[in-house]
Structure 1
Amino acid sequence: MPYRIMNLKSITSIFTVVFLATNLLQAQDSTAISKAKIDGVSAVVGDYIVLDSDVDKMYIELKSQGVSTEDVTRCNIMGKLLEDKLYAHHAIQDSITVSDDEINSDVNQQIDYMKSQMGGDMKKVLSFYKKDDEAAFRKELFELIKTNRLASKMTRKIVEDVEISPEEVYTFFNEIPEADRPTFGTELKIAQIVIKPKTPQREIDKVVDRLKQFKADVLENGASFASKAVLYSKDEPSRSTGGKYTLHRKKPRMVKEFRDVAFSLEEGEISEPFKTEFGYHILMVDQIRGQEVDIRHILLMPETSNENLDEARSTIDTLRTRIVDKELTFADAALEFSDEKETKFDGGQLRNPETFDHSFELTKMDPSLYAQVVNLKEGEVSDPILEYSRTGEAFYKILVVTDRKEEHVATYGKDFLKIKELALKEKQVETIAKWQKEKIKDTYIKITGDYRNCEYTNNWLKK
């Protein structure tokens, strides 16, 4: 019974991305392995090796992701690395493959992100990770990402056929003592209507003309596209890197209009100004590598006058009054009037970006959204709220809580789907544990030096 209770409380954290931080606690440290050593092979798992420096790199990776390493030991990390290598080794044995193009795309994206955190300076990135050579650094990232992808695919394969019956869910729930049953926080379903101010055509023409001037200056006078992006683009995430993004044909990124233009151009070609929901762009292709393309873009937004903003406020005030007076439903108003295409055809319902359903746990939602809905009763329509998009575009919105479940101790009937998810994940964990036990017996594993003194949960030392 203690095993089941433990899993119920921690099961959700076990299935995070590539098991990065979850399995770090699989090993208990019995000795302090704190002295830095000259890099060497610390373990072999099948066809894979673990270097002592790999432990250091994972420490850096965890810290860069904001994970606390205060209670994480080198034994913990070694246990995680051994698992990753075991998964990757057997993925190869089971003919599981990953595309080099996709891995290279991930490498490029990761380096772009690292550079964005360092003001676009690759030298600072190399210094932070204590590397002298970008090519060698890329190679290391390639191998790390490849191993993680193989490990991820292997874990998915292990559990892909695991199913759970209603009878198993019922047994799972009833074996939990009442005092240990989980408490589910307050959950809301939220809908919104967005009204954007109308943009005068003269302001649109100004932006389009300016983008055309940028293009002409680059093509005719040799001006730097990247420099113009740094100086003028309204796209905050890419501005510091000169508007650069890497796109992959098989991994959709950016809105469709943006991707269509990016993949229609030749190297060195600059597009005509085009519109997306974020504003107006020009786009230049830096390099094409098979399914992957490096691009730069400049985003500009037409200016909106106070008069246009006041008109949007008046429109949403009128809509709110009609909804409150029950002249029309919130869903009908969203469908007919909302300027947010992602939600208007679904009654304005917001989708949780973490779970992809319509439920939001109150204490886990975005702080700004939390502040806007925390005091709303079910069915109550908020006052108009002025907000700004990430590109600085002002708009008004109204919100309604379409369903509200207060915090409560789990019950079988009310929370069946959540309980089923917990029960399934526990069964998956048990399946993985069984797979690990069997594969460790059948796989060549050698651990050297101080890491042989660690007390691992898994029988890596085959004692």
Structure 2
Amino acid sequence: MRLKTTSMKCIAISSLMFLFLSLGGINAQVIDTGEESLEVKAIDETPVKEVAKDTVKPFKRIKAGGVSAVVGEYVIVEFDIDLSFLEMQQQGASIEGITRCQMLGKLMEDKLYAHHAKQDSILIPDSQINSRLDQQMQYLISELGSEEKVVAYYRKDNMADLRKQLFDVNKQIALAAEMQGKVIEDVEITPEEIRNFFFSIPEDERPVFGAEVEVAQIVIEPEVTEEAKQDAIDRLNEIRNDIVENGSSFATKAVLYSKDEGSARKGGLIPGVRRDAPYAKEFKDQAFSLLEGEVSEPFETSFGFHILYVEKIRGQEVDVRHILLFPEVSQETIDKAREKIDKIRQSIVNDSISFAEAARLYSDQKETRNSGGRLMNPITGDTRFDLTKMDPTLSAQVYNLAQNEVSKVFTDRDRTGKSSFKILTVTKRFEEHEADFVKDYEKIKELALKEKQIKAIQEWQEKKIGETYISVNRDYTDCDFSNNWLKQ
């Protein structure tokens, strides 16, 4: 392919860096590598631990607090680069072949975008940043065990200081993403450009597309009876009465009985709930309708039945605890569901009904039944799934299926732990093949558009680098940057 190697390297580094930028911060001082703790102090005589072999002249001594580069109003220090490498390693990403020069170049690109986003008056609502931050904090707390451990991990005095730091980092990420989106939003590609792109690639260099499948499914869920729902409500009422009337601990009850594994081990705690947070509407309605210390009546969401306790109200945020219960599904209803899907499968195999028609008539999954059970790839937005990249559970069921063959019945569990029975079929199979202009037109169009977008980004960067104040530390003047950061 004729996509520039340097550009693709930057894109690769960008994707690997995302989680670091989302969860880390430029002022963190201790990073747990799983083997030892690396402490970096901002003093002249403290060397930084080597994390990647560079391709330029070796660094004899680097100041941990020293400035590596300045882009507009943003400063990049040596520790930002070290932290980038360490966070990538912690997330299981390989840093092999990525030099300090490349990492600095990527950080400078991010700052260039953020700087010009501000210059162009691009605004990101604080609510959007806070929503993302809430998700990150939930992830960090679930991984480390408590707010206190998260604060200690990032060497902050309190949660407010940590949230402020992560808010600033997320704001820069959002500004950079918005600016990059603005650069390429008007980039379009014509059929003639697509044709020229494809036929300009030598035949022996044309891409090979891996095996792909289009998949449909039928889902049968064991019936949840009204009696089972009422039993869950009655059990929550018993727990609630013991808390309200007898002073029992809500947190203890959550540890003992809640089916939400993520919060149960923390006493049901979900900190920092905001009105724009990604929770069920019914959950947020309860959270913001109660006073501190109040316990809700049982209520239902798509996850199950809850009671909720408001622990603390902090402005537009609420710290809550909740207990989640699922209605019990009897063995009788499980057996009925299994018998039903067995009969549906047999009818399809016997050609008494098509898979698509059976899905429309019988599947319990509303999202897919009207399309004959056809699944959409959440990554690409189309109906094709790359067998090497699809969900392992799904891949295991369809990998050896011939086109139009029906899988055996298997049991699946959703995010709430609720079981259902499924059958799958491969409606179309595409074997691994060299790119074909007609058959793979949409994929080729995507590649051609991506190349044109990369060119637009490169032209924008070249122009803005010339217009922006940029200073690079002399230790990096021998770097072979993909952009003209040194303005030579």
Q: Structure 2 length normalisation: TM-score?
A: 0.84
Q: 1:108 aligns with which of 114, 121, 134?
A: 134
Q: Tell me the secondary structure at the aligned position of residue 471 of structure 2.
A: strand
Report if the CA contact (8 A) 2:56-2:478 is conserved.
Answer: yes
Aligned position for 2:74: 48
Report if the CA contact (8 A) 1:351-1:357 is conserved.
Answer: yes
Q: 2:465 aligns with which of 440, 445, 451?
A: 440
After alignment, is 135-144 or 75-84 more displaced?
A: 135-144
Q: Tell me the secondary structure at the aligned position of residue 436 of structure 1.
A: helix
- Change beyond 3 A, Cα 1:298–1:429: same
Q: CA deviation at 1:324?
A: 2.3
Q: 1:188 aligns with which of 213, 219, 227?
A: 213
- Change beyond 3 A, Cα 1:6–1:17: closer
Q: CA deviation at 1:259?
A: 4.9
Q: 1:70 aligns with which of 96, 103, 108?
A: 96
RMSD (Å) for aligned C-alpha atoms: 2.9
- Change beyond 3 A, Cα 1:140–1:277: closer
- Change beyond 3 A, Cα 1:29–1:269: farther
Aligned position for 1:296: 321
1:166 and 2:191 correspond: yes
Q: Tell me the secondary structure at the aligned position of residue 94 of structure 2.
A: coil
Aligned position for 1:343: 368
1:175 and 2:195 correspond: no
Report if the CA contact (8 A) 1:18-1:151 is conserved.
Answer: no
Distance (Å, rounded) in 1 between the aligned partners of 2:206 and 2:9: 13
Aligned position for 1:139: 164
Q: Tell me the secondary structure at the aligned position of residue 252 of structure 2.
A: helix
Distance (Å, rounded) in 1 between the aligned partners of 2:19 and 2:448: 22
Report if the CA contact (8 A) 2:404-2:428 is conserved.
Answer: yes
Q: Deviations over 1:219-274 (max 9, x none)?
A: 334444343333322123333344326555456x2445545555555555443323
Report if the CA contact (8 A) 1:8-1:422 is conserved.
Answer: no
Distance (Å, rounded) in 1 between the aligned partners of 2:328 and 2:161: 46
Aligned positions, number: 455
The AA in structure 2 aligned to 1:398 is I
Report if the CA contact (8 A) 2:344-2:358 is conserved.
Answer: yes
- Change beyond 3 A, Cα 1:267–1:342: farther
Q: 2:231 aligns with which of 206, 222, 238?
A: 206
**Structure 2 alignment gaps of length 5 or more:** 21-53
Distance (Å, rounded) in 2 between the aligned partners of 1:11 and 1:453: 19
The AA in structure 2 aligned to 1:52 is E
- Change beyond 3 A, Cα 1:391–1:140: same
Aligned position for 1:371: 396
Report if the CA contact (8 A) 1:208-1:273 is conserved.
Answer: yes
Aligned position for 1:99: 125
- Change beyond 3 A, Cα 1:385–1:53: same
Q: CA deviation at 1:431?
A: 0.4
Q: CA deviation at 1:439?
A: 0.5
Q: CA deviation at 1:45?
A: 1.0
Q: 2:85 aligns with which of 59, 66, 71?
A: 59
1:238 and 2:263 correspond: yes
- Change beyond 3 A, Cα 1:264–1:86: same
- Change beyond 3 A, Cα 1:15–1:48: closer
Distance (Å, rounded) in 1 between the aligned partners of 2:312 and 2:165: 23
Aligned position for 2:31: none
**Structure 1 alignment gaps of length 5 or more:** 22-27
Aligned position for 2:336: 311
Q: Tell me the secondary structure at the aligned position of residue 368 of structure 2.
A: helix
Q: CA deviation at 1:293?
A: 5.0
Distance (Å, rounded) in 2 between the aligned partners of 1:69 and 1:10: 12
Aligned position for 2:438: 413
Distance (Å, rounded) in 1 between the aligned partners of 2:57 and 2:255: 51
Report if the CA contact (8 A) 1:197-1:308 is conserved.
Answer: yes
- Change beyond 3 A, Cα 1:129–1:246: closer
Distance (Å, rounded) in 2 between the aligned partners of 1:112 and 1:418: 37
Report if the CA contact (8 A) 1:11-1:422 is conserved.
Answer: no
Q: Equivalent residues in 2 for 1:225-304 (5 A)?
A: 225-243=250-268, 244=270, 247-250=273-276, 253-259=278-284, 261-262=286-287, 265=290, 268-286=293-311, 293-304=318-329
After alignment, is 260-269 or 407-416 more displaced?
A: 260-269
Distance (Å, rounded) in 2 between the aligned partners of 1:40 and 1:215: 56
Report if the CA contact (8 A) 1:206-1:302 is conserved.
Answer: yes
Distance (Å, rounded) in 1 between the aligned partners of 2:214 and 2:314: 43
Report if the CA contact (8 A) 1:43-1:49 is conserved.
Answer: yes
1:157 and 2:182 correspond: yes
Q: CA deviation at 1:364?
A: 0.7
